[in-house]
Chain A
Amino acid sequence: MGEPAIISVRDVHKVFNGHTDRAVTALQDINLDIGPGEFVSLLGPSGCGKSTLLRVLADLTSPSQGEVTVNGKTPRAARADRDYGMVFQQAGLFDWRSVQRNVELPLQVAGAPKDQRRAKALEMLELVRLGEFAKHFPWQLSGGMQQRVAIARALSADPSILFMDEPLGALDEMNRERLQGELLRIWTDVRTTVVFVTHSISEAVFLSSRVVVMSARPGRIAASIDVDLPYPRVAETRTTPEFFAKVKEVRQVLHAAESEQAPA
C-alpha cells in the first residue's frame, strides 16, 4: 500500500496475567499496517490471539508493549472519537430496544438529535435490507437478521473503520454465505476499512483484499497474503479456479505456520 496506513501496529506484545505463574503471551512481535479501504482478515486457529489483537486496536484492552495508531491517533482517542464500529460473534442487541432504537444507539451515545438519529437508523436498516423491521423487537428476528442489525448499528455513526470478531461464526453455513455476500455489498457501499477476525479459510479468502495469517502460542503473524480476486465477488466466485488456488495457498501457509511451532 502506497497510501498512509489507517491502522499501524508496531512491535506489539500482549501478556495476560503477567508477573504471575499463569502468564499467557497472547501476542508477540506484532507488526501490521492496514491502508484505508482495505478489507483485512485475521485468520488463525482458536486461541492464537486474533480477538486480542482486535481488542487492542479497539482499545478494549491495552498492549503490554508496543505502539498502535488508529486514524493517526492512539486507540483510546480513536475510540473516544467513535472512529470505529464493532461487531461481535453475538449480535448483542438490547432486548428492550426496538430494532431501530438498537441501530440508533451509537448516535444516541454520541448525543445526536432525535430526528437525525431516526433518519440515519432507517437508512442503515435499508442498507442491511431490514427496513420493514424497524419497529420489531430483537426476539422477533432470526439470528442472521439480528447480526445484520448489529452491522447496521456498528455503521450508524459513520465510522471510518469496522472491527468484526467472527461476526458470522454463530450462523449456519447457508446464512453465513449469504451474509458474506451482503457484507461485501455493504462494504462496497460504505467504503470503510474492515478488520475481520475469522478461523474460516474460505470466508477469509472470499471477503478479504488481504489475509493476515496468525499462528498460536505465542500469537504471531505468520504471513500476509494479498487476495487479488477482483471485486465485486459473487456466489460464483467461490467456484472459480482462482478462488480454489487462493484457498489452497492460504491453507498451506496456515499449516506451515502451525507445524513450525508444533515441536515446541
Chain B
Amino acid sequence: MSAATAPAPAATGRGARLLALLPARYRKQALPVAVTALLLLGSWQLAVAVFDIPSFVLPTPTTIVTAFFDDVGTIMAAFHVTVTAVLLGLLLGAVAGVAVSLLLSRFASVSAPVLSAAVLLNCAPIVALAPIFNNWFGVTNVMSKAGVAAVMVFFPVLVNTTRGLLQVTPLHLEIMESLAARPRQVAFGVRFPNALPYVFNALKLGSTLAVIGVIVSEYFGGPAQALGVYIASQAALPRFDYAWAGIFVSGALGLLMFGAVTLLERLLMPWHASLHEESD
C-alpha cells in the first residue's frame, strides 16, 4: 500500500529510501529541522568566540566534534553498551506493560483502580531507583540499567495499551455481536488492532524514556564502557569537550530510538490515520 501511495523522493541511496519510509509530516520537516540545527550550532560557535566563554563552561561545537573523533573508539564502544541496555529495557518494559494490560482488560472491574494507581506511580521519579537496581543486580550488570528503563517504559505502555483495548468503537462491537462473534474473535479482530496505535504512541514516549533511564542510571556507576559513565567521568576529569561529545551521542541515541519505533509503526500499520498525510 505504502509503496503505491507514497511518491518516493527523487534522491536515491539507502538514506533516501529510509527517509521515504518515514511519515510525510517528518519527511517534509527534515530540511527545516536540519537548517534550524545548523543555525543553532553556528550561533553557539559564534557566541562562544564573541563572548570569549571559557571552554570549561561551554566548549564550541567544533571542539566537541574534535573531541568525539579523538576518542571515537571509546565513545562508540560505550554507545554499544548503552544501546544494548536501552533496547533491553524498552523490550522488557513494553512486553510487561502489554502483558499486564491484556490481563487487566479481561477484568474491567479491577482495571480502573489499577490504572489510577499506575498513573500515580508514574508521577514518581523512577530514575531515583537507579542506586537500588545497582544494589540488586550489581553495578556492571546490564539489568541494573535496563531494569530502570523497563520500569519507566512499563507505565505508559500499560496505561495506553489498556486504553486502546477498552476504548473500542461501540459500533465495531455491535457489528461483531450481530455476527455472533466469540470473545476471542472480538479480542483478535477488534481490541488488539484497535490498541496497536496506542501501543506505538507509548513506545515512542518509552523509547526516549528508556534512553534517559539508562544514561542517568549509568551516572550512578556502571560498566567501564557506557555513555553515562563516560560523560560523568570525563566531566570529573575535567574534560568537558569529551563530556559534551558523550552528551551529543546520547542525544543521537534518543533520536535513533524514536525514529526506529516510528519506522516500525509505519511498517506494521500502513492503515493508520496519522500516516495518511501523503494523500493530500
Contact = CB atoms under 8 A, between A and B. Distances in A.
A238 B6 CA distance: 44
Q: How large is the interface on B (under 10, 10 to 19, 20 to 34, 35 or more residues)?
A: 20 to 34
Given A137-B271, A139-B273, A140-B279, A88 B179 contact: no
Given A137-B1, A137-B271, A92 B175 contact: yes
B193 A96 contact: yes
B171 interface: yes
Query: Which has the most chain B C-beta neighbours within 10 Å: A94, A137, A138?
Result: A94
A86 B178 contact: yes
B178 A92 contact: no
A82 B177 CA distance: 11
A119 interface: no
A96 B177 CA distance: 19
Interface in B153-185: 169, 171-172, 174-181, 185
A95 B180 contact: no
A60 B271 contact: no
Given A60-B174, A88-B174, A92-B172, A80 B276 contact: no
Interface in A83-114: 84, 86, 88, 90, 92, 94-97, 105-106, 108-110
Which secondary structure characterizes the binding site on chain A? loop
Contact of A58 (B169, B178, B271): B178
B190 interface: yes
Contacts of B273: 95, 139
B20 to A, nearest CB: 19
Contacts of B270: 137
Interface string B243-280: 00000000000000000000000000111110010010
Q: How large is the interface on A (under 10, 10 to 19, 20 to 34, 35 or more residues)?
A: 20 to 34
Interface string A51-93: 0000000101000000000000000000110101010101010
B178 A80 contact: no
A110 B181 CA distance: 8
Interface string A124-153: 000000000001011110000000000000
A90 B177 contact: no
Nearest to A150: B175
Contact of B178 (A79, A95, A97): A79
Contacts of A90: 171
Given A88-B171, A88-B174, A139-B276, A95 B179 contact: no
A140 B271 CA distance: 10
Interface in A196-232: none
Query: Which has the most chain B C-beta neighbours within 10 Å: A96, A108, A110, A137?
Result: A96
A105 B190 CA distance: 11
B196 interface: yes
Query: Which has the most chain B C-beta neighbours within 10 Å: A86, A109, A139, A140?
Result: A109
Given A58-B178, A105-B179, A109-B185, A96 B172 contact: no
Contacts of B169: 92
B271 A96 contact: yes
A96 B197 CA distance: 11
A222 to B, nearest CB: 28
Contact of A82 (B171, B180, B271): B180
B24 to A, nearest CB: 14
A95 B190 CA distance: 10
Contacts of A137: 1, 270-271
A82 B193 contact: no
A170 to B, nearest CB: 12
A90 B172 CA distance: 10
B178 A60 contact: yes
B4 to A, nearest CB: 9
Nearest to B177: A60
Contacts of B189: 94, 105, 108-109
A152 B262 CA distance: 34
Nearest to B186: A109
A109 B271 contact: no
Nearest to A89: B171
Contacts of A94: 172, 189-190, 193
Contacts of A88: 171, 174-175
Contacts of A138: 271
A161 B194 CA distance: 30
Contacts of B279: 139-140
Given A58-B178, A92-B175, 9 more contacts: A92-B169, A95-B272, A95-B273, A96-B193, A96-B196, A106-B179, A109-B180, A109-B181, A137-B271
Interface of A: 58, 60, 79-80, 82, 84, 86, 88, 90, 92, 94-97, 105-106, 108-110, 135, 137-140
22 contacts: A58-B178, A60-B177, A79-B178, A82-B180, A86-B175, A92-B169, A92-B171, A92-B172, A92-B174, A92-B175, A94-B193, A95-B272, A96-B193, A96-B196, A96-B271, A105-B179, A109-B179, A109-B180, A109-B189, A110-B179, A135-B1, A137-B271
